[in-house]
Chain A
Amino acid sequence: MIYQISSMAIIIFIFFVLTVLGLSFFFARKTKSASGYYAAGGQIHWAVNGIAFAGDYLSAASFLGICGMIAFFGYDGFLYSIGYLAGWVVALFLVAEPLKRLGKYTFADALDAKFNSRAIKLTAAISTLVVSIFYLIPQMVGAGALVTPLLGLPHWVGVMMVGAVVILIVATAGMTSTTYVQFIKGGLLIVFSLIVVILVLNKGIKLNPSADYHKPIVLAATLAEGRVQAVADSSYQVLGQHEESGLTFVKMTKAGIDSWWKLNSISSTPELEETLTVVETGDGRTLYNGEPKEAGKFYQVGHVNKIVVNGREVEETGPLGPFKFIKTLGTSEVVRFTKKAFTFAGDKITIYFQNITAGSDIIKPGLYYKLDKGSSIWSRLDFLSLMLALFLGTSALPHILIRYYTVPSQRAARKSTIVAISAIGFFYILTLFLGTGAMINGSLDLGSSNMSAPLLAKTFGITLFSIISAIAFATILGTVSGLIVASSGAVAHDLMDKYMKIKMTEKQKVKAGRIAAVGVGIVAIMLGIIFEKQNVSFLVGLAFAIAASANLPAILMLLFWKRTTAKGISWAIVVGMMTSLVLILLSPTLYELYGLPAASAPMPLKNPGIISIPLGFLTLVVVSLLTKKREASPALEK
């Protein structure tokens, strides 16, 4: 859709980006050593580190992705909130302190602390790179989604901007600046999200979300032998009709503008209901509701159809408390939009039509991950797979793991994890209200679920929208910086220094890290452009699955199973990483991206975790048992 650009938005946006850059350059002058670059010299205060953790974690995936998914699919998006937070429990109870005791700069260091094995150095470095790049994709996609409404720029420009700014930040400063930048943005994101939630609750639920909201028009139709002949408004002329999955869509024209309507013939009088359409014409034009994008006819949507309070229908509720808000939503009816795509007379048609959904279905899982109605064994396994990947993924994310090395002690590592859990948990509670708020307040851009939360802020004024979007954008900058530091650490520290044993001075090590950061940044930019249309939270779910499959078996077994061997760790990383990657490449989501039908994908699961995580653990145990005796002798190891 097309967005109005405001000068206020541009000013606030530039102010945030300049502040981030200013902070980076300020701390850059202090970064002289490798320890300073990769681990902020191990001297960050635990409270600052805790909020910085939150800043790292509450990235595009949480703010844009989860809120977007809740706005489109209700509670199913909230599953991500639950799983992402539960992952921190694993990090706190099992991983935080032992890892702090083992490590130096990177995740590979920690794994290698016991064995000094070249195979571990190599596999851990590659796995860090792969996970970080998969985590970078959604951040880049989120950045692109944000600049479109904020600055009126195309998606790819946003991705390039983030890439360029972050490369500049990381290539100059490293972990200290990343930490302080994340601290400030993590804090601001939580505060401003709370403000939006308070405004949502204060507004309550209304049948008509705003004065300028465009509710789809309904016209009475005349049918003959199942075909629409005419409609109540004689200015429309019927052009054609198409059946798709048991639904009937009708093409009409008025004043030279074509539109698509959905036929509802359940009641005694057949009706045509206005839809939102994107048409790619045979001659290469793309029309939004029959007109070019600039006409602004591809409206934002999302409203309630019926509000029931204490058994009585009302037009609006007035201000509601958080519990009453959810309860009222559960007894009301919400209009969601369902997508169908087909070809008609050489044109590619994508139609979004109204789908009236009971509120009780909105506040329980099942609209995205089919669990009861229309479920199959695969859809249930997908749900299980996602919940497993989220639970086990957090404590295996390299950019989260490196944050344990930025604090001075184990106690500080633990305390900063608790600050992070509290801040992140509070934010995740807010996501349910941000998402459902967007769902009923006309804040849905059907072309991109990722914009729901910023568009919700926009309904309360352009200033709030600008601040929220700028914070979200700045948060992406910080998260991407952290990921690129982790990746550059994998290349320069683990691969070049430790694996290849290239002799480098402290200065050269920092330089190598910065060059690696530029390389990873460029790869991330390219992937961010390719994956434009995907929900960012879904993409992060994939990164979690790879991390949980490749890294977690290694970390947990090293800490808790004495018979773990270096070969066991290396093979577990390789098998976990390769299995999850291959399963993702063969999944329905990637098949859609290749332009093939999702149903033809050989792997029916969207998330590979349920297969690849146990396989990672199994590989580690089997290989460790097989190689135990040989590795017992240090002479043989060499």
Chain B
Amino acid sequence: MLHEPAVELGKDKSIPQKTRLGVVMFFIYMFVYMGFVVIGTMFPEALGVKFIGGQNLAFLYGMGLIVLAIVMGLIYNFLCTRLEDKLNKEEQS
């Protein structure tokens, strides 16, 4: 019950597209992450400035980075699965 059958029976034709997608999403996240690190290093006082709902930038940005990682992970999986289904189906037909 816990062991699913292997899904890749033939060659996975979606590898180049998935790799490109992964690299693009990595750079998007890295850019946002670097924003946090740069603010912390260069403008640390900005992290204490209050924004939405009386919460400061440090709290909003930090929580945002965690939530963004989860959301981007789900989007990546959705897009990869769609690519695999589409391209490997075309290959079989």
Is A364 touching B47 in the complex (CB atoms < 8 A)? Answer: yes
Q: Which residues of A contact B45 (CB under 8 A)?
A: 372
Is B6 touching A425 in the complex (CB atoms < 8 A)? Answer: no
> 1/0 per position for B57-81, CB-CB distance to A under 8 A?
1110011011101101110110011
**Which bucket holds chain B's interface residue count?**
35 or more
Give residues 1-49 of B contacting A (CB, 8 Å): 2-8, 12, 15, 18-19, 22-23, 25-26, 29-30, 33, 36-37, 40-41, 44-45, 47-48
Q: Determine if A88 is an interface residue (Cβ-Cβ < 8 Å).
A: yes
Is B3 touching A45 in the complex (CB atoms < 8 A)? Answer: yes
Contact of B66 among A81, A330, A391, A418 (CB under 8 A): A81
Bound complex: CA A90 to CA B34 (Å): 13
Chain A proximity of B5: nearest CB distance (Å): 8
What 7 A-B pairs are tightest by C-beta distance, nearest first? A371-B44, A364-B58, A93-B26, A93-B22, A45-B2, A372-B44, A364-B47
Is B4 touching A89 in the complex (CB atoms < 8 A)? Answer: no
Of listed A45, A90, A414, A428, residue having the most chain B CB within 10 A: A414
Known: A326-B55, A428-B66. A410 touches B2 (CB 8 A): no
Known: A82-B62, A372-B45. A418 touches B67 (CB 8 A): no
Contact of A425 among B26, B40, B41, B69 (CB under 8 A): B69
Is A384 touching B55 in the complex (CB atoms < 8 A)? Answer: no
Bound complex: CA A112 to CA B62 (Å): 37
Is A411 touching B44 in the complex (CB atoms < 8 A)? Answer: no
Contact of B40 among A86, A98, A383 (CB under 8 A): A383
14 A–B contact pairs at CB < 8 A? A79-B62, A86-B29, A89-B25, A89-B29, A89-B73, A93-B29, A94-B22, A363-B56, A364-B57, A365-B40, A383-B37, A410-B8, A418-B74, A426-B70
Q: Determine if A417 is an interface residue (Cβ-Cβ < 8 Å).
A: yes
Bound complex: CA A360 to CA B58 (Å): 10
Bound complex: CA A101 to CA B12 (Å): 10
> 1/0 per position for A383-406, CB-CB distance to B under 8 A?
110011001000000000000000
Bound complex: CA A81 to CA B74 (Å): 20
Is B70 touching A425 in the complex (CB atoms < 8 A)? Answer: yes
Find the A residue at minimum CB distance from B54. Answer: A327
Of listed A94, A417, A425, residue having the most chain B CB within 10 A: A425
Chain A interface residue count, Cβ-Cβ cutoff 8 angstroms: 56
Is A85 touching B65 in the complex (CB atoms < 8 A)? Answer: yes
Q: Which residues of B contact A560 (CB under 8 A)?
A: 23
Binding site for B on A (CB under 8 A): 43-46, 48, 75, 78-79, 81-82, 85-86, 88-90, 92-94, 97-98, 101, 323, 326-327, 330, 360-361, 363-366, 371-372, 375, 380, 383-384, 387-388, 391, 408-412, 414-415, 417-418, 421-422, 425-426, 428-429, 560
Is A422 touching B19 in the complex (CB atoms < 8 A)? Answer: no
Bound complex: CA A126 to CA B45 (Å): 43
Contact of A409 among B6, B40, B63 (CB under 8 A): B6
Chain B proximity of A67: nearest CB distance (Å): 15
Find the A residue at minimum CB distance from B52. Answer: A323
Bound complex: CA A89 to CA B30 (Å): 9
Q: Which residues of A contact B26 (CB under 8 A)?
A: 89-90, 93-94
Q: Which residues of B contact A88 (CB under 8 A)?
A: 69, 73
Bound complex: CA A408 to CA B12 (Å): 14
Is A360 touching B56 in the complex (CB atoms < 8 A)? Answer: yes
Is A421 touching B56 in the complex (CB atoms < 8 A)? Answer: no
Find the B residue at minimum CB distance from A183. Answer: B2
Chain B proximity of A404: nearest CB distance (Å): 14
Find the B residue at minimum CB distance from A391. Answer: B33
Is A414 touching B67 in the complex (CB atoms < 8 A)? Answer: no
Known: A89-B29, A411-B7. A384 touches B23 (CB 8 A): no
Of listed B15, B23, B33, B81, residue having the most chain A CB within 10 A: B33
Bound complex: CA A532 to CA B2 (Å): 40
